[in-house]
Structure 1
């Protein structure tokens, strides 16, 4: 207090051996400071409630367009019913999330995680399978080896960056990428899927897109013995420390909900009896 009085250049307290009381200047200083101190105390209590109290507040989520629309958005109904005090803001964007610039709390990412700046929890594997419709198979057959793709009508996906997505296969112990010649290219995963369902050609797609169609017989998978096994769907956030309750319950809810959807598929497919033949280099361009 003596240091504060020195900084202010005035006496705030009248001190005796028996009591301490405010001066007139001290009373004025207290009245001016009191609202600010109350706001600071309230802010500290609010932060403690967000950390330890019932889950509430604003939750900003980012996901890729396809996965967000097909998987994340349907699960949000159950999440909101369980946690009505949490307001959800879902952003669908195929570009990599910038947590700071976009003010995102949690992001869903697909593929391989190479960003060491975020915490990434793998929800499920992300199989990539080449699929066709039954009508296409009857008319054209299906490739049995990767090099057979050159003789088929392939449908490609253009990514958010503008490049064509390269098909991936695990040949031996290595992941190899191929860019097939295409009859059609789309910059939307749903359009690629619809073209395959319509019998226009074959495409390599993620398990979450095709699981229901495979089980219903609307699609057929091939080259499953070459499906890459190093991709996944991840739930990402910036830190494990001091997570607000709204983020903790969202992570737990989505992890359980997505894992219950059984989107893995590769283990349920019957693979051809013939083994993979060595493929040193295949040009599909």
Structure 2
């Protein structure tokens, strides 16, 4: 006795997998539907061929294959006229809705690239630079571009653009990732500094060897690593990990301790330039300051950049370069745009 078909995984035995049927259907009918829509719109196989950039015979073959696939006549054709059948009119109406959605989707994508800037902008920045420099400028940016929403994440870890869906990242130091576009905004000055009170009591180091005689204040990254001080001596980089009685994982606390006269620290110029100008801090070992670091604005690719990203990069580049974030001008060099491609 014959057994009835039993559904397996939602499909009936003996019937093709719907996923395979869909891919086969799409592959065989796509050209036919495009040709069908062109003929229905133009009212002629010849004019449809001109619109699509293919011959009249190719249009006719595509439509015939579609009619065979649908087991339905879509056009009434004579030597002079071409008209839709009732079934063709129904098919055209249904297809037209799908084509309209596709066109709208394409126009929406083009609008993101060429239209007024809008949408969500997800930004990543190192904690100190983000808090001191980036965040204050975001308010001005959102006033200028009210249709852009900004999500700012402060994190000292390397940026994972894909996993965190980051559009733009601000990075400090040296850029070694060859898969991103890295545009230098300004040089990054690493300055050894102390308060006038500390300098009066303990003096300032005049050589690297004297650093061990001073009260040093360290900064610890969120990952646990303690920041090593860097100096450039005779063209070569020298690192120094001081022994410290005070260590903080927040740059603002390091700065506060230095301002209060508890010791010396090496800090980025943007963090202390205002205090230097107001004579609240003094610099030491300036001639050994490293000159190969920078503050960068980074993104994945220059091609097909949405307008919201493009205007943000331009805005931040102009605004940050206009700020006085350098502690000494003779350090300043041109800010090249460094491009890295995977």
Q: Normalising by structure 1, what TM-score?
A: 0.90
Q: Which of 206, 209, 213 is the matching residue for 1:147?
A: 209
Moved more, 110-119 or 189-198: 189-198
Hey, what's the Cα distance between the residues in 2 that align with 1:35 and 1:243? 30
- After superposition, the C-alpha distances for 1:78-114 in whole angstroms (9 at most, x for unaligned) are 2112111211111111111111111111111000010
- Aligned counterpart in structure 1 of residue 287 of structure 2, from 225, 230, 236: 225
CA RMSD of aligned residues (A): 1.5
3-state SS of 1:228 partner:
coil
Is 1:126 matched up with 2:188?
yes
Quote the Cα distance in structure 2 between the aligned partners of 1:206 and 1:213.
12
Partner residue of 2:17? none
The structure whose RCO (Cα within 8 Å, separation 6+) is larger is: 1
Give 1:268 deviation, angstroms. 5.7
Larger deviation: 237-246 or 147-156?
A: 237-246
Q: Please tell me whether Structure 1 or Structure 2 has the larger radius of gyration of its CA atoms.
A: 2
Alignment of 1:168 with 2:219, yes or no, is no
Paired with 1:128 and 1:247, the residues of 2 have a C-alpha distance of 29
State the partner residue of 1:267: 329
Judging by fraction of residues, say which structure has more helix.
Answer: 2
TM-score (norm 2): 0.75
DSSP-derived class of the 1:96 partner = coil
**3-state secondary structure, aligned to 2:83:** strand
Which residue in 1 is equivalent to 2:254? Answer: 192
Cα shift readout 1:138-192 (whole Å, capped 9, x = no counterpart): 1111111111110011111111221111100001111111101011111111111
Q: Does 1:47 align with 2:109?
A: yes
Displacement of 1:48: 1.7
Give the equivalent residue in structure 2 for 1:272: none
Q: Which residue of 1 aligns with 2:126?
A: 64
Unaligned runs of 5+ in 2: 1-62, 332-342
Determine which of 72, 75, 78 is the counterpart of 1:10: 72
Q: Which moved more, 1:246-255 or 1:48-57?
A: 48-57
Deviation at 1:245, TM superposition (A): 1.4
May I ask how many residue pairs the two structures share in their alignment?
269
Matched, 1:86 2:148: yes
Residue deviations 1:9-47 (CA, integer Å, cap 9, x gap): 433323222322333333333333332211111111112
| Stretch moving more, 100-109 or 43-52 | 43-52
Which residue does the alignment assign to 1:246? 308
8 Å contact kept, 2:232–2:290 = yes
Residues 201-254 of structure 1 deviation map (CA, whole Å, 9 limit, x = unaligned): 111000110011111111111011100000000011111112121111111110
> Superposed, which structure 2 residues align to 1:110-125 within 5 Å?
110-125=172-187
Residue 319 of structure 2 is aligned to residue 257 of structure 1:
yes
